[in-house]
Amino acid sequence: MKRILIIVIALLLMQAGLEAQPVKGIIYADTAGVQVVKVWGTHQERGYALGYLTGGKITDVIVNYMKPEFGAFYNMARNIVIQGNDLEIDPMYKTEAQAIIDGMNASGTNPSNLDQTDILVGNTFLDITTLLMLQSGMNCSELMSWGDATAGTDLEGKSVISRHLDWEYSTVLSRNNVITVHFPAETEESKWLLIGFSGMNSALSGFNPDFGAFQNMMDDNNNQGTNGKHYIPIWYALRRALEANDYNGDGARNVQDVRSSLHDCTMGFADGFIISALAKSAATDSLVAMVAELAPAAPTHTYRYSNYPDSIPGDNLYTANYQIARNNAMHFCSRYNGIRNHIGDGTLIGLDTNWNLLRDWSHLPANLQFMQYAPEADFMRISVYHDGKPAWQNEPVAFTLSELFEDPTVGTDEPVNLLYAQCLPNPASGSVRFMISEAGKTVDLDITDATGRVVLCHDRYFPGEALNIASLRPGLYLVRLMTNSGVKFLRFIKL
């Protein structure tokens, strides 16, 4: 049987007398406080799908978090984007932002009449707050391990990074965690994903199948960005490195692509930022892991590799929010000391040890997201702030990179014309519900495992009912729903 992935296509929808465009996207999973969205096509098409599928969440973030954060300064923030003298935003990201609004309008999820500028303000939040001399507290940290550090473990020399996203606690942000996976139609671009909050089309945290980049604040920076410098917004600088097939044109995809994108920001940056970048293992350490310390004033770009005498042993790099290599500051914070005091000789660091070191010795109270990315192990996991507990205290949900980066448009039959179809939750553990647009009708259902063996049947399943899957082994399953209008397929992961 040919593998078929149901894709969500909105056809013949009418908005303001016009026919809406197809929605090239799916809500792939919604579990453990994280929604996973896949979008494909051109920048315009991906933006439209993102707005259509997640417009309510985008409205929530902008209206209930972003606008109150800026308060009386919100119109000034908008003017920075509109005037374009302080920040230089690539036209393709503006096109995408407008398409997000178009998708929200088409799905009726824009009651506040938000516009393109609102989307762009959210994606340049950190740059704007410093230009307006406002506080923007984001105190993140990362631990990267590879090579000799991971030899003799489940990673066998392969690379891994764990990351805390520490920001001020917000119920709005905590209910709008999102992983957005992009499948670009543009030939010069490659698939990539971002981990952030609804409405983002930039990379606060992001990776592709080969390397990732993650942003921190540099809290001990005393230099302020100045007006009229046309700064590249930091999150968009990271996105263009992640999305390009080969940003620096050297025939390889690694952390040097991130360095090149940052270095092309010749004016420096609107604020002090620290970037961690990790790639697949390589013979040269400078291709695998890097920390960039960035500032508005000279030296604007400082890069740190594992050969820098930063007191973290072996093939490991750690960073939090203070300068280490820039001006040879060697500014060690309590979290930095926590890692270097407990990492031992820096060897035998597998997936769990890398995760546990950051969890136990580098966390802060307002820990909104805790994530891990291991490109060669085909693995990522994430936990988020919920139930009053910071992310590091909650159990993570795990994904394989091959599943996240599996193109939903490849190997499919003709799209099924459904306005709504999904598994909830996905991944699942004890039970799962299958939702389709043909409400009120029972369907025949069977579930097959990865080998094609039928493992569960239900002759008259009512869509929306919880189906017990506790007896199924962990793995990927294909669901076949047989209705009067044809056969429809969904997939889900059993944890």
pLDDT of residue 12: 32
pLDDT digits (tens, 9 = 90+) for 313-328: 999 999 999 999 999 9
Q: Could you tell me where the DSSP H helices lie in 35-115? A: 43-61, 67-70, 74-83, 91-107
Residue ranges with strand state E in 254-358: 273-279, 289-294, 301-304, 316-319
Mean pLDDT of 215-229: 92
Which pLDDT band holds residue 19 (cuts at 50, 70, 90)? very low
Cite the DSSP H helix spans in 213-350: 234-243, 255-263, 334-342
Residue 433 pLDDT grade (very low, low, confident, very high; cuts 50, 70, 90):
confident
Contacts of 214 (CB under 8 A, 6+ apart): 140, 142, 161, 163, 204, 205, 206, 275, 276, 277
pLDDT at residue 197 above 50?
yes
When mean pLDDT is compared across 45-49, 262-266, 282-286, 486-490, the lowest value belongs to 486-490
Provide CATH code, domain 33-395.
Answer: 3.60.20
Q: Using the predicted structure, report yes or no on whether residue 11 has a pLDDT greater than 70.
A: no
Q: Is the pLDDT of residue 486 over 80?
A: no
pLDDT of 378 > 70? The answer is: yes
Q: Where are the CATH 2.60.40.3080 domain residues in the chain?
A: 15-22+409-494
| Mean pLDDT computed over 84-89 | 96
pLDDT at 5 over 60: no
Distance CA 102, CA 119 (A): 12
Position 389 scores a pLDDT of 94
Residues of the chain with CATH 3.60.20: 33-395
Contact (Cβ atoms closer than 8 angstroms) between residue 212 and residue 193: no
- Tell me how far apart the alpha carbons of residues 292 and 366 are, in angstroms, rounded to a whole number: 24
Mean pLDDT over 337-354 rounds to 97
What is the pLDDT confidence band of residue 370, given thresholds at 50, 70 and 90? very high
The predicted pLDDT at position 475 comes to: 77
CATH architecture of 15-22+409-494: Sandwich (2.60)
